[in-house]
C-alpha cells in the first residue's frame, strides 16, 4: 500500500483539499452532520495505522463479539473539513490514536462514519509544502511523549529535544526524555541532558542493545498511550522491539559517514493494543 510521500504531489493534494478554506457544498454538508465531533460514547474503534484513503482499525470488544477485531476501513476526504482551521489544514481526517465510529461492511472491511474530538495531537508540517500550511498529524489522544535521543550516533542535540518539548508543552502532554545508547557513554561526565533534569524533566538513560534501564522506563509508561519520537537513528524501533518483545518495524544502521540515521521508519503505528 502506498505511504505518504510528503511532497506537493502527495495523495491528498487534490483541487478540493487545496482550497482548504473554501470547502465544497458537499463537504460542508458532511461537516454540518457533525461527524468529527462524536462523543466518546459514540465511538466503537481505534485507528492504529493510516494509509491513503484507508486506515487500519481495531474494533472495541462488544457483548456479541467479545474479541476485538481488526478492519481495514475507508474514510472520506470530505471528513477533513470538520477540523479545518484558518491557520492550517490537516492531511487526513483520521490519525493514529483517533477514536472513531466504524460501520462494518464485511468481516474484514468497514467505513469510518465519524471521529471523536481529540484530547491532544502531535503534528508537523508536511515537508516541501510551502504554498499552504498543510500539517501531518502524527498521532492523537496521547498520555505521554517519550522523547528519544542518543548519547551519540547521532550526536545528542539540545535543539531537537527542545522542539519536541515545545510540542508537548503546547498540547499539555506530559513528556520524558529517554537517552538511548547509554552503552556508548562510558566516562561521560555531566552530560548535556542533565540540563533537563535541572528543569524538572525525568530523564531515563537506557540501552536497547544491552537492555539497560528499560524496567524503570516500562514502569513509567505502563498502560499508557505513548508516542516515541526523536531524530532518525536514535533507536526508537530498537527500543520498541525490546519493550514489546516483538519483531516490530525495521532497524536501520546509522550512516557511518554522517553519523545520522536513514529514516528507516516512515509511518506511525499504534502497537501493543489501545489503552483507554
- Note whether 269 binds Mg ion by CB under 5 A: no
Per partner kind, with CB cut-offs from 5 to 8 A, the member of ligand GTP, Mg ion, none near residue 154 is none
- Rule CB under 6 A: say whether 184 interacts with ligand GTP: yes
| Spatial distance between the Cα atoms of 68 and 62, rounded to a whole number of angstroms | 8
Does 225 contact ligand GTP by CB under 6 A? Answer: no
Say how far apart CA 271 and CA 98 lie, in whole Å.
14
Distance CA 207, CA 184 (A): 9
Does position 264 interact with Mg ion (CB under 5 A)? The reply is yes
What CA–CA distance (Å, rounded) separates 96 from 106?
22
The torsion region of residue 249 among left (phi > 0), alpha (psi -120 to 50) and beta comes to left
Closest separation between CB of residue 232 and Mg ion, Å?
A: 7
Q: Which of 27, 123, 129, 180 binds ligand GTP (CB under 6 A)?
A: 180
Half-sphere exposure of 111 (CA within 13 A, CB side): 7
Which residue, 134 or 239, has its beta carbon nearer to ligand GTP?
Answer: 239
* Options 79, 92, 141, 265; binder of ligand GTP; rule CB under 6 A: 265
Residue number closest to Mg ion, CB atom: 265
> Taking each helix axis from N to C terminus, what angle separates 236-244 and 214-221, rounded to the nearest 10 degrees?
80
Among 226, 233, 268, 270, the residue binding ligand GTP under the rule CB under 6 A is 233
- Find residue 58's DSSP bridge partners: 46, 70
**Contact footprint for ligand GTP (CB under 6 A):** 180-181, 183-184, 207-209, 232-238, 251-254, 261-265
Amino acid at each position: 500500500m502506498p505511504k505518504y510521500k510528503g511532497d506537493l504531489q502527495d495523495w491528498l493534494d487534490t483541487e478540493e483539499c487545496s482550497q482548504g478554506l473554501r470547502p465544497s457544498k458537499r463537504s460542508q454538508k458532511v461537516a454540518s452532520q457533525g461527524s468529527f465531533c462524536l462523543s466518546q460514547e459514540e465511538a466503537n474503534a481505534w485507528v492504529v495505522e493510516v494509509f491513503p484513503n484507508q486506515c487500519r482499525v481495531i474494533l472495541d470488544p462488544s457483548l456479541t463479539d467479545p474479541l476485538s477485531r481488526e478492519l481495514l476501513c475507508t474514510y472520506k476526504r470530505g471528513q477533513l473539513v470538520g477540523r479545518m482551521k484558518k491557520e492550517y489544514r490537516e492531511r487526513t481526517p483520521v490519525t493514529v490514536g483517533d477514536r472513531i465510529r466504524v460501520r462494518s461492511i464485511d468481516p474484514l472491511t468497514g467505513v469510518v462514519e465519524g471521529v471523536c474530538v481529540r484530547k491532544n495531537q502531535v503534528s508537523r508540517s508536511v515537508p516541501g509544502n510551502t504554498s499552504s500550511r498543510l500539517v501531518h498529524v502524527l498521532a492523537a489522544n496521547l498520555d505521554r511523549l517519550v522523547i528519544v535521543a542518543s548519547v551519540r550516533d547521532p550526536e545528542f542535540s539540545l535543539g531537537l529535544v527542545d522542539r519536541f518539548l515545545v510540542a508537548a508543552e503546547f498540547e499539555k502532554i506530559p513528556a520524558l526524555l529517554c537517552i538511548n545508547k547509554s552503552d556508548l557513554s562510558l566516562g561521560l561526565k555531566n552530560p548535556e541532558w542533565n540540563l533537563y533534569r535541572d528543569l524538572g524533566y525525568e530523564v531515563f538513560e537506557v540501552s536497547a542493545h544491552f537492555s539497560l534501564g528499560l524496567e524503570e522506563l516500562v514502569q513509567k509508561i505502563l498502560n499508557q498511550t505513548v508516542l516515541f519520537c526523536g531524530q532518525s537513528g536514535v533507536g526508537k524501533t530498537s527500543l520498541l522491539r525490546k519493550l514489546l518483545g516483538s519483531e516490530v518495524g525495521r532497524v536501520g544502521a546509522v550512516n557511518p559517514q554522517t553519523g545520522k540515521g536513514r529514516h528507516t521508519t516512515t509511518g506511525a503505528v499504534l502497537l501493543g493494543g489501545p489503552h483507554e
